[in-house]
Amino acid sequence: GQNIDQPTEMTATEGAIVQINCTYQTSGFNGLFWYQQHAGEAPTFLSYNVLDGLEEKGRFSSFLSRSKGYSYLLLKELQMKDSASYLCAVRPDRGSTLGRLYFGRGTQLTVWP
């Protein structure tokens, strides 16, 4: 089976930095994705890691340690619009036409003024 864990809720204040952790145990590993989802809306792609290390993209960074089955999403200079659910997802399959994702339950982030 696939097991992906992340905290249920987090809160932070505007302008601060927050780190959302994700641990995974999956049947295989071929990439880890972070998605942002506002209530009632579609998930939108934020970041992708397949090798160990940090990937930075503007205010968002994502880190991966494959040996530890661990990733985090770092959000800097928080804004009110960052209040959303953040979903960690693992792609377990290799192969050029296989891409299913297994998602964690999501971390609901609330940003306070």
Partner 1 sequence: DSGVTQTPKHLITATGQRVTLRCSPRSGDLSVYWYQQSLDQGLQFLIQYYNGEERAKGNILERFSAQQFPDLHSELNLSSLELGDSALYFCASSPRTGGERGEQYFGPGTRLTVT
Query: Contact residues for partner 1 (CB under 8 A)?
Result: 30-31, 33, 40-45, 48, 50, 87, 89, 91, 93-106
What's the closest the beta carbon of residue 52 comes to partner 1, in angstroms? 16
What's the closest the beta carbon of residue 49 comes to partner 1, in angstroms? 10
Cα(58)–Cα(45) distance, rounded to whole angstroms? Answer: 14
Phi and psi torsions of 82, nearest 5°: -80, -10
Bridge partners (DSSP) listed for residue 102: 90
What's the closest the beta carbon of residue 20 comes to partner 1, in angstroms? 15
Identify whether the C-beta of residue 31 lies closer than 8 Å to the C-beta of residue 78. Answer: no
Q: Measured from the CB atom, is 48 or 60 closer to partner 1?
A: 48
Starting at the earlier edge strand, list the strands of the sheet with 3-5: 3-5, 18-25, 70-75, 60-65, 53-57
Q: Measured from the CB atom, is 30 or 83 closer to partner 1?
A: 30
Q: Measured from the CB atom, is 20 or 78 closer to partner 1?
A: 20
